[in-house]
């Protein structure tokens, strides 16, 4: 009985793992008021609030954004995209952001920052499965994402 429980647990953990690419951190300035750093890139296999089709995948990029001003800011992320240049340069718009606790199914593209506040934000994109993402695009600036090692993460 013990062996069965251990085997079941092991299979469940292994099935729940997915690759996460390490990102070589770099600080980007959106403007004089906002800066952000890329923290993590992942392609999680499932999302509980959205059923993807067979030919699409999720791409989640975790960033840390900082309000550099002494006043409140409402930041709209509509100008964030990711890109792939396999043959033709393709752009994929932001689907939604997640900042803190958020209800499942809620789609938002903006968040509020207090003066000099720093927040970790998850940018979620939906792209074709066969595409390998190489760029992050913000305010029309195309920056190549520098990847490090790939490691396993648990859901």
4: in domain = no
Q: Tokens 């595409």 correspond to what residue?
A: 131
> When comparing pLDDT for 28 and 11, which is higher?
28
More confident residue, 83 or 19: 83
pLDDT at 14 over 50: no
pLDDT higher than 90, residue 66: yes
Give the Å distances, CA to CA, from 154 to 11, 18, 31, 39, 63: 12, 7, 35, 17, 19
Residue 87 has pLDDT above 80, yes or no: no
Residue at 8 is within a domain = no
- Average pLDDT, whole number, for the chain? 77
Cα–Cα distances in angstroms (integers) from residue 120 to residues 7, 57, 66, 88, 146, in the given order: 36, 22, 9, 32, 19
Query: Six-digit token pair at 117?
Result: 């506040």
Residue 75 lies in a domain: yes
pLDDT, one tens digit per residue, over 25-43 is: 778 887 888 899 988 888 8
Q: Assign 95 to helix, strand or coil.
A: strand
pTM as predicted: 0.74
CATH number at residue 85: 2.60.40.1240
For the ranges 11-20, 38-47, 113-122, 137-146, the maximum mean pLDDT occurs at 113-122
Which domain range does residue 74 map to?
Answer: 19-154
Whole-number pLDDT of residue 15: 47
Asked if residue 23 belongs to a domain, the reply is: yes
Query: How many domains is the chain built from?
Result: 1
Question: Is residue 144 very low, low, confident or very high in pLDDT (cuts 50, 70, 90)?
Answer: confident
Residue 5: inside a domain: no
């Amino acid at each position: 009985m013990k062996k069965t429980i251990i085997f079941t647990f092991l299979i469940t953990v292994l099935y729940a793992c997915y690759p996460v690419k390490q990102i070589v951190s770099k600080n980007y300035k959106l403007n004089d008021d906002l800066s952000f750093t890329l923290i993590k890139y992942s392609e999680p296999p499932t999302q509980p609030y959205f059923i993807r089709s067979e030919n699409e995948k999720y791409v989640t990029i975790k960033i840390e954004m900082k309000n550099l001003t002494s006043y409140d800011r409402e930041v709209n992320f509509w100008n964030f995209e990711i890109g792939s240049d396999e043959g033709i340069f393709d752009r994929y718009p932001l689907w939604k952001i997640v900042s803190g606790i958020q209800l499942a199914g809620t789609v938002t593209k903006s968040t509020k920052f207090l003066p000099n506040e720093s927040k970790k934000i998850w940018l979620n994109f939906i792209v074709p499965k066969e595409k390998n993402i190489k760029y992050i695009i913000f305010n029309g600036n195309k920056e190549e994402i520098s990847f490090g090692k790939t490691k396993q993460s648990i859901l």
